[in-house]
Amino acid sequence: MGYGYFTNVRITDFGPYVTKIILPMPVKPAEEPEKDSFCVYVERRDQQGKIMQLPKNWLERDKKEPSVAYAKVTDAYIAGPDGEKNPEGDCIALEMAYGPMHSEVAELSAPDGFNVSIISDYCITQLKPIQAENEKLAGMVFDRKYGTRCHDYDDFNESVSHDLKMPLRYGYYVPKGKAEKKPLMIWLHGAGEGGQETKIAYMGNKVTCMITPEIQNLFGGCYLFVPQCPTMWMDDGTHVYGRSGKSMYVQALKSAIDEFLELEPGIDRDRIYIGGDSNGGFMTMRMCIDYPDFFAAAFPVCEALYDDTISDGQIRRLSEMPIWFVHAKNDPVVAPGETADATYRRLIAAGASNIHFSFFDKIVDQHEGWTGEDGKPFEYIGHFAWIPLFNRDCNFDYEGQPVMLDGRKADVYDWLALQKR
């Protein structure tokens, strides 16, 4: 039996990845390893222990093969047990290549439409000797997983609503300090994050950005409520993607929200904000239409509620609500001309005054440093408009002009923090 290892996971713009592997050494190393001192082999299995059939990377997502691979090490160094560089440490940290072109270290995959957690078994083999204080370390194999660390969601909790007909699982965050009532932000996941693993609703995409100090400080602290539906928010009872504009989850979701409000009396009920992406954007619009006086503001992203299902009367009511739309013009999944763009134009015509629309030409990596095969910044499919939302890049309006608040450029979160029912 070999030695053990830890994995460090970070929630990126493209979901959770193993970004570091930490090797506790039997003897304190005395010299820095080279990045090719170890090779990393991984087998990715389902919950039954069977090797999964998955795409090798995002560009080859339609081609599935047994998910076994050698993962690329980009750096290696002496570290402490947390994986941070420390010349006095007794561990070695391996930094891994990760992102859309390196699915072998992804923590989730969607073999059947829903994202599911993957069991990744790593075997790290030493290829070059490393000098310790009084000996050389050589030939070590690390094949026992001690654990996984992901500090991005350390502060999340999970629960389930008590609706007898349709209970919903949810993740939630409670801000520190309760001297004053604080707002509530509700985030509704896309179709890929439905199912029975609650954490996927808040880690499948970078929802965890909403509990970072940067965003929390804008609100003076903010609760976060992330419910998960078993299928998809657009499910009208037929279990297929349709154009009815209805959802069988409307009452169950409202019940779950009301229950959470009762459990957390520190929430300011005049500052409840709702947003979501794709299917969750659909449900954001659905909830605003069905409960127009409940929410202080909405921020639907690549929303999928077809405009022709919204009546003129509903448009008039929506025109009184602060809404910030986010979408990309080249979205191949949800056509903005049939959804957000059409609805936005009707709202403007109806006299909406507190309304914005960050309408991207395309969605390109600006923060992770990932590149495509051409060496240019990686271009996501146009549907992934939640990426600029989470990175605070939604700071311009429909015609491209910056959104200004109090004389400075503002994004969705700056704007949300000022909204009150």
pLDDT in tens, 162-210: 998 999 999 999 998 877 899 999 999 999 999 999 999 999 999 999 9
Beta bridge partners of 68: 43
Q: Are strands 68-71 and 38-45 parallel, antiparallel or unpaired?
A: antiparallel
Residue 113 pLDDT exceeds 80: no
Query: CA-to-CA distance for 182 and 175, rounded, in angstroms?
Result: 8
Confidence of residue 1 (pLDDT cuts 50, 70, 90): low
pLDDT digits over 381-395, tens only? 999 999 999 999 999
**pLDDT score recorded for residue 111:** 83
Alpha-carbon distance of 220 to 208, in angstroms, equals 17
Rounded-to-integer distance, Cα 91 and Cα 24, Å: 4
User: Is-contact 238 211, C-beta < 8 A?
Assistant: no
For residues 325-331, average pLDDT? 98
Q: pLDDT tens, 354-413?
A: 999 999 999 999 999 999 888 999 999 999 999 999 999 999 999 999 999 999 999 999
pLDDT tens for 45-81 read: 999 999 999 888 777 778 889 999 999 999 999 999 9
Delineate the domains of the chain, giving CATH numbers in brackets.
Answer: 3-149 (2.60.40.2180), 153-416 (3.40.50.1820)
Average confidence score pLDDT of the chain: 95
CA distance 164 to 172: 21
What integer is the mean pLDDT of 230-240? 93
Reported as a single tens digit per residue, the pLDDT across 80-109 is 999 999 999 999 999 999 999 999 999 999
CA–CA distance, 382 with 327 (Å, rounded to integer): 8
**Orientation of helix 250-263 relative to helix 279-290, angle to 10°:** 80
Regarding beta strands 297-301 and 182-188, do their DSSP bridges make them parallel or antiparallel, or are they unpaired? unpaired
What is d(CA 261, CA 355) in angstroms, rounded to the nearest whole number? Answer: 27
Nearest to 234 by CA among 219, 224, 245, 226: 245
> What pTM, to 2 d.p., does this model score?
0.95
- CA 390 – CA 154 distance, rounded (Å): 18
Q: What percentage of the chain carries pLDDT values higher than 90?
A: 90
Tell me 378's DSSP state.
P
Q: How far apart are CA 161 and CA 141, in angstroms?
A: 46
* Contact between residue 88 and residue 133 where contact means Cβ atoms under 8 Å apart: no
Confirm if 131 and 30 have CB atoms less than 8 A apart. yes
Q: Give pLDDT tens digits for 280-309.
A: 999 999 999 999 999 999 999 999 999 999
The pLDDT value given to residue 292: 93
Q: What sign does the CA torsion over 204, 205, 207, 212 have?
A: positive
